[in-house]
Amino acid sequence: MADLELANIDKHYGAVHAVRDVSLTVQSGAFVVLVGPSGCGKSTLLRAIAGLEDITSGDIRIGGRSVTRLAPRARNVAMVFQSYALYPYLTVYENIAFGLRARGETEAHIDERVRWAADTLSIADYLERHPRELSGGQRQRVAIGRAIVREADLYLFDEPLSNLDAKLRDGMREELKRLHARLGRTFIYVTHDQIEAMTLADRIVLLRHGVIEQDGTPLELFEKPASRFVAGFLGSPPMNMLDVTMVDGGTMIRISDDQMLPNADGAAPRADGACIWGVRPEHVRLAAAGEPSLEAKVDVVQPTGSRILATVLVGDQKLTAELDAHSGVETGQRIALAVATPRTVFFDAEGRRVGGAAPAD
């Protein structure tokens, strides 16, 4: 069953066209991540689902029922706000219980649900404290607790981890994934962080200027990006974008006047001419002797412990390579690099993928 259906959603704020003809069907139990740069319409869409924002046109259905004209309370949706929005004068317990009390649940039921949520989020020891007596991470958990304590059809999260430091974020990511498996409910999760999107989602919806740029599994978006924008958004360090020219009937890729590589997988555009070659840093390595390679001059070396990020110059183009930690590469050195061509992608001048990785689709 589809838990959520968005049909041709449009949202104008005066002259701002924040969401443009967005249609989306989400299956029950999915973990969908809406991701995209600041201002692309993620929060607007999430708030529209929750009923906190009227839409200009379109229809929103939850569990097969149109909720477009229903008040937030009637939609049976739970939402976690980016800003926690905790009540400062209430204890953690009362903050979590608040929504249940407002719905007139029994004391016994409230107690059972609050303790379950607190256990699930490892905040059972803090139930009598006030929000000001908690760390940011603990507060964030209380905000999540307040949402999951309710039996909702849909759980909506708006950047729930954005205020946490990197280490806490990693831990909470893992907890959210566990929580999703445990609840077995549909999660719609908004973030601008591509790592969160990749790690949490079973489906990523990438928005740009209020339009769905691509919708698919994390691996689909990563390996078969529909556009240069998607390719550049997912992956860290980002995909290298090289200005190249296809020559000899598309069989060779010319990177600079005197540097070429064979187009080994034949996935590039057949016709000769200019295009953009997208190469992930992890698909560049030191070439073996005799292997077709690019001559590169090492500009900057950044060891990460497990790997080395080497920024090199090929002709006058910059390229980042993720190399073995023990490759011994140093600034100023000249090295020969090979590229795992079957894994690369090609874009036209407008940024559309025109070949590579999976040419058939």
| Residue 315 interacts with, from Mg ion, ligand ATP, none (CB under 5-8 Å by kind) | none
Which of the 8 DSSP states describes residue 52?
S
Task: Report the C-alpha gap between 319 and 260 in whole angstroms.
Answer: 15
236 lies in the binding site for ligand ATP (CB under 6 A) = no
Closest approach of Mg ion to the CB of residue 41, in Å:
9
Closest approach of Mg ion to the CB of residue 201, in Å:
17
Instruction: Give all strands (DSSP E) within 63-185, no chain letters.
Output: 65-66, 77-80, 154-158
Instruction: Give all strands (DSSP E) within 14-130, no chain letters.
Output: 16-27, 31-35, 57-62, 65-66, 77-80
Task: Report the C-alpha gap between 322 and 309 in whole angstroms.
Answer: 5
43 lies in the binding site for Mg ion (CB under 5 A) = yes
Closest approach of ligand ATP to the CB of residue 161, in Å:
13
196 lies in the binding site for ligand ATP (CB under 6 A) = no
The footprint of Mg ion on this chain (CB under 5 A) covers a number of residues equal to: 1
Q: What DSSP element (H or E) covers 256? A: strand 252-256
What does each C-alpha distance from 59 to 23, 48, 225 come to in angstroms?
A: 9, 10, 29
Q: Cα torsion at 266, 269, 274, 279 (round to 10°)?
A: -60
Place of tokens 């079973």: 202
Q: Tell the burial category of 90 from Cβ atoms under 10 Å away from its Cβ (0-12, 13-18, 19+).
A: middle
40-69: contacts with ligand ATP (CB under 6 A): 40-44
Which of the 8 DSSP states describes residue 1?
-
Of the pair 13, 87, the CB lying nearest ligand ATP is at 13
Closest approach of Mg ion to the CB of residue 361, in Å:
31
Of the pair 20, 150, the CB lying nearest ligand ATP is at 20
Instruction: Tell me the residue nearest to Mg ion as measured from the CB.
Output: 43
Binding mask 104-143 toward Mg ion (x if CB under 5 A, else -) reads ----------------------------------------
301 close to 333: Cβ distance less than 8 angstroms: no
Residue of 312, 301, 308 lying closest to 322 (CA atoms) = 308
Of the pair 12, 61, the CB lying nearest ligand ATP is at 12
| Residue 13 interacts with, from Mg ion, ligand ATP, none (CB under 5-8 Å by kind) | ligand ATP
Of the pair 18, 164, the CB lying nearest ligand ATP is at 18
Binding mask 5-44 toward ligand ATP (x if CB under 6 A, else -) reads --------x--x-x-----------------x-xxxxxxx
123 close to 131: Cβ distance less than 8 angstroms: no
Of the pair 157, 277, the CB lying nearest Mg ion is at 157
192 lies in the binding site for ligand ATP (CB under 6 A) = yes
Give the range of 42-50, 71-79, 285-293, 309-317 binding Mg ion by CB under 5 A.
42-50
Residue of 234, 315, 309, 248 lying closest to 278 (CA atoms) = 234
**Residues of the shown chain interacting with Mg ion in the complex, contacts defined by CB under 5 A:** 43
**Residues of the shown chain interacting with ligand ATP in the complex, contacts defined by CB under 6 A:** 13, 16, 18, 36, 38-44, 192
